[in-house]
Amino acid sequence: MPENILIAIAWPYANAEIHVGNITGSHLPGDIVARYHRLKGNKVLMVSGTDSHGTPVTLAADKEGKPVEEVYKKYHDGFLDLFEGWGITYDLFTTTHTENHFKVSQAMFLALKENGFLFTQKSLQWYSPSSKRFLPDRYVEGTCYICGFEGARSDQCDNCGNVLEPERLINPRSKEGGALELRETEHFYLDLSKLEPDVKKFLQERADHMREPVLGESLGKIEAEGLKPRPITRDLDWGVPIPIEGWTEAGKRIYVWFEAVIGYLSAPIEWSQLQSSSLTGEAVSKGSEAWREWWVNPEAKQFHFIGKDNIFFHTSLWPAQLMGAGAKFLEIFAEDQKPLTLPYDVPANQFMNLEGKKISGSRGWAVWGRDALTRYDPDALRYYLTVNMPEMKDSDWDWSEFVARNNNELVATWGNLANRVLSFAYKHWEGHVPDVDLNALRDIDRNLLAVIENGFKAVGAELEAVHLRAALGEAMKLATAVNQYLDQTAPWSAIKKDRDDAAKTIYTALKAIDSLKILFAPFLPFTSERLHGFFGYETPLFGEQYTEDVTDSLGTHKVLKYRVGQVGNLSHWKPSELKPGQKLNQPGPLFKKLEESVVEEERARLGK
């Protein structure tokens, strides 16, 4: 039975471009796991979108002197372009600024309210008399009253990670300039303290498969501080309207932390609606309900790919929202009464640094995703980011290591192996796989194929557990085993003495490479697809990405989608059944060797 796998990836803020740290932190690991499950024939839905609301976006718009909508769309379009280039295969990458997301977020808000988890409370907030408005969180900076950090936001300190009470901030100053005064304002709060026992139970039930740093941090924080009520509205005129009369009119919106995570639910719903718009008759209503296979299905597995700065939102706050809403959400949204599925795993990554320093966009200390693609192939970048993925601790992008690993591992161990054997077969067997008698294969041939066949279990088990470095390491070990086999059998010289012997070797090596192509495919999808073509197969390994314009009452937004196409629900995750005599296509090199000079050129670009 195919499994339903939801790959939910952190929603990037529309206020900066995406760098390699963001890619290895969430988008790439999510894509690798999605591609693996698709190859296995599972039903995968991979979603995310641009976080278009919130003060990071309004501040960026103020800074650029442009309307917020224009600024969010500029970054959003750049994200779509980047994901296509890197092969990050979202079934839907959308935005939070859609009519659908508004509706779903409002239904969630109302469900929590009806279930008694919301209350209103008055508090003090910084107000700007000159611009006649409240200034939320990032608009006011000051010194943290807990750790003394001077650049703390009024609602949160990025240095010690604590939520702050705005009125206690030391030396508050407005980002807009001008005077500040404290005024009373009223907001809705989510009563997380009531949900604390459920959240603890939720985490403890996942202790067998959640990463230790993720579980440790989440439970530790609850033990130390408890879950406290948190405001879910604020004084801002850009964002999701509050579904209670009078509140939106008073210049308040739903708080971005509360609604952005709801995107994991609203995006599948939008995806279903878009699927059904291409259907006719009865299939339409069935199509628009397709999201339920991942969301109203206790068997479905939901994976959240995020960076470590977002752990608490995904392991504690989002599950609390879901558990608090319970069956009420569906009752409000779809006149049905079933609880929503809870996350299965939150394989959060730690951070990637760059040449020993923290990545910083504002200081130009970054490798930008789109820029890197103008000089390097996506699989070379994906390879380095996977072998160096910060799964359990912070890692570092080092240009000399990038060049070394590309040349010594990707090119020398894997690329040359595939190219050398395919070219040899193409030349000496007139563009065909040697037509050998399979019963005549020698022990050494059978042993190699058995080792490769076992790789599907070993690599698959690591991928299921989201141990991506280990999974790729296993696949690379198998490529080394094929190289050793060729050293022992030496078909390049054997062909001059015993063509039959060389044919057995080349057939065996080709079959091993045909299998390795699948084992590498989740990590290196572009080159595995090319290699698949060299072998003469007609059905591709993967579908295609494309963009589409979607219009609703808020306007038009562009989305990135994934079309399964010819692949259908074919399962490719199995050892090769390569036929002797199969026609090959003209092979070529898969990867490029990089010059040592790249290291200095790239280092010179940093910090500018």
Contact set with Zn ion (CB under 5 A): 144, 146-147, 149, 157, 159-160
Polymer length of the chain: 608
Handedness of CA 277, 282, 288, 291 (dihedral sign): negative
* Tokens of residue 124, six digits: 């003090």
Nearer to Zn ion, 168 or 357 (CB): 168
Question: Toward Zn ion, which CB reaches closer, 160 or 392?
Answer: 160
Smallest gap, in angstroms, from Cβ of residue 148 to Zn ion? 7
146 versus 481: smaller Cβ distance to Zn ion: 146
State whether residue 92 is helix, strand or coil.
Answer: strand
Nearest CB to Zn ion, comparing residues 145 and 456: 145
In whole angstroms, the minimum distance from the beta carbon of 149 to Zn ion comes to 5
CB 32 within 8 A of CB 463: yes
Residue whose CB is less far from Zn ion, 161 or 568: 161
CA nearest neighbour of 137 among 55, 61, 57: 55
Question: What's the distance, CA 319 to chain centroid?
Answer: 19
We find the least distance from the C-beta atom of residue 141 to Zn ion, in angstroms, to be 12
Cα gap 182→272, rounded to integer Å: 46
Which two structure tokens, joined as six digits, stand for 422?
């395919």
Q: Is 355 left (phi over 0), alpha (psi -120 to 50) or beta?
A: left
Q: Minimum distance from CB of 156 to Zn ion (Å)?
A: 9
- Whether the Cβ atoms of residue 389 and residue 550 lie closer than 8 Å to each other: no
Shorter beta-carbon distance to Zn ion: residue 146 or 599: 146
d(CA 285, CA 524): 37
Residue carrying structure tokens 């040359």: 416
Kindly state the tokens that stand for 529. Answer: 């697809």
Decide whether 144 or 192 has the Cβ nearer to Zn ion: 144
Which residue, 145 or 365, has its beta carbon nearer to Zn ion?
A: 145
b/e per residue, 286-297, with b = 16+ CB within 10 A?
A: ebbbbbbbbbbb
Whether the CB-CB separation of 455 and 519 falls below 8 Å is answered with yes
Smallest separation, CB 153 to Zn ion (Å): 10
Strands 170-174 and 140-143: antiparallel
Kindly state the smallest distance separating residue 240's Cβ from Zn ion, in Å.
29
CB of 161 to Zn ion, least distance (A): 7
Residue closer to Zn ion, measured from CB, 111 or 164: 164
What would the DSSP string read from start to end of 73-122? Answer: HHHHHHHHHHHHHHT---SEEEES-SHHHHHHHHHHHHHHHHTT-EEEEE
In the complex with Zn ion, which residue's Cβ is closer, 74 or 138? 138
Give dist(CA 502, CA 203) in Å, integer: 56
Min dist CB 188 to Zn ion, Å, is: 26
Nearer to Zn ion, 157 or 389 (CB): 157
CB of 152 to Zn ion, least distance (A): 6
Nearer to Zn ion, 133 or 308 (CB): 308
3-state secondary structure of 326: coil
CB 167 within 8 A of CB 182: yes
10 Å CB burial of residue 526 (0-12, 13-18, 19+) is middle
Our CA dihedral for 228, 233, 239, 242, rounded to 10 degrees, sits at 130
Number of other residues whose CB lies within 10 A of the CB of residue 153: 20
Beta-strand ranges (E) seen in 312-463 are 352-354, 395-397
Structure tokens at 565: 């196409």
The angle at the Cα of 507, spanning 416 to 504, to the nearest 5 degrees, equals 120
Quote the least distance from Cβ 150 to Zn ion, whole Å. 10
Token pair for 447: 């042993």
Q: Would you say the C-alpha torsion 145, 148, 153, 158 has a positive or negative sign?
A: negative
CA distance 559 to 274: 10
Closer CB to Zn ion, residue 160 or residue 182?
160
Q: Are 548 and 608 in contact (CB under 8 A)?
A: no
Residue 158 CB, nearest approach to Zn ion (Å)? 8
Let me know: does 75 contact 14? Beta carbons within 8 Å: yes
Nearer to Zn ion, 158 or 237 (CB): 158
Measured from the CB atom, is 146 or 598 closer to Zn ion? 146
CA distance 381 to 35: 17
- Please, what sign has the CA dihedral across residues 298, 299, 305, 308? positive
Q: Is the dihedral of CA 287, 293, 294, 297 positive or negative?
A: positive
DSSP state of 342: P
State which residue, 149 or 351, has the beta carbon closest to Zn ion.
149
Place of tokens 């039959």: 500
CB of 143 to Zn ion, least distance (A): 9
